[in-house]
Amino acid sequence: MTFDTTTHNSRMTHFDQHESFWLFGYGSLIWKADFPFLERKPAWIEHWSRRFWQGSHDHRGTPETPGRVVTLIRDQGAHCYGMAYRIQPTVLRQLDIREKNGYLRERVPIHFTSTGSAEGLIYLATPDNDAFLGEAPLTAMAGQIAQAEGPSGSNREYLLNLERALDDLGVSDGHVSALAAALPAIR
């Protein structure tokens, strides 16, 4: 099941009049920046945790066998680390298509690991979108990830690329690491 958010996101015009602004990537946007950007740097957002709770019917799975990709859940006191990109508003058209399966634009404060902060944008998949899968036992999620494959590649590859990208940033994410560790046990 898909929920195309492209039209909805195009109506969110908060950053349209800016010359540039910051986008925070917490999943594949960390390692797969296939869009033009002016600058990038490590960053984090407060009170959010990364979870493999969003279905991927269009990139890392199919409608028949959806994959699992990350979204964010509110988590008081948590920090989610990733990569921030300074982009121009025209880039949003491309990103809206990439993130169309249930992800909505949301404004958040982004903190840079070097210094400072800025208001920016995330793409967030909430429980009220049709592709949201929600929480499941770790072994069930790992099994689904191990089996799913879509036009953008295997879901396993997505998980392992994310774990590697976080490691390159010097970040440990218990949820990501636990899922990656469970993969070898699943054939």
Convert the pLDDT of each residue in 33-76 to its tens digit.
Answer: 999 999 999 999 999 999 999 999 999 999 999 999 999 999 99
Give the number of domains in the chain. 1
Q: How confident is the model at residue 24 (pLDDT cuts 50, 70, 90)?
A: very high
Please say if 99 is a catalytic residue: yes
Residue 1 has pLDDT above 50, yes or no: no
Asked if residue 81 belongs to a domain, the reply is yes
- Catalytically annotated residue among 19, 39, 99, 135: 99
Cβ(73)–Cβ(48) below 8 Å: yes
Asked if residue 155 belongs to a domain, the reply is yes
The widest CA-to-CA distance across the chain, in whole angstroms, is: 50
| pLDDT-above-90 percentage for the chain | 79
| pLDDT on residue 66 | 95
DSSP output for 163-180: HHHHHHTT---HHHHHHH
Asked if residue 187 belongs to a domain, the reply is no
Q: How confident is the model at residue 182 (pLDDT cuts 50, 70, 90)?
A: very high
Instruction: Domain of residue 64: give its range.
Output: 6-180
Asked if residue 185 belongs to a domain, the reply is no
Asked if residue 59 belongs to a domain, the reply is yes
pTM over 0.95: no
Residue 124 has pLDDT above 70, yes or no: yes
Among the listed residues 65, 144, 130, 67, the one whose alpha carbon sits nearest the alpha carbon of residue 100: 130
Asked if residue 135 belongs to a domain, the reply is yes
Question: How many whole angstroms separate alpha carbon 101 and alpha carbon 150?
Answer: 13
Asked if residue 186 belongs to a domain, the reply is no
Q: How confident is the model at residue 10 (pLDDT cuts 50, 70, 90)?
A: low
The CATH number linked to 83 is 3.10.490.10
| pLDDT on residue 102 | 86
Convert the pLDDT of each residue in 78-116 to its tens digit.
Answer: 999 999 999 999 999 999 889 888 898 899 999 997 789
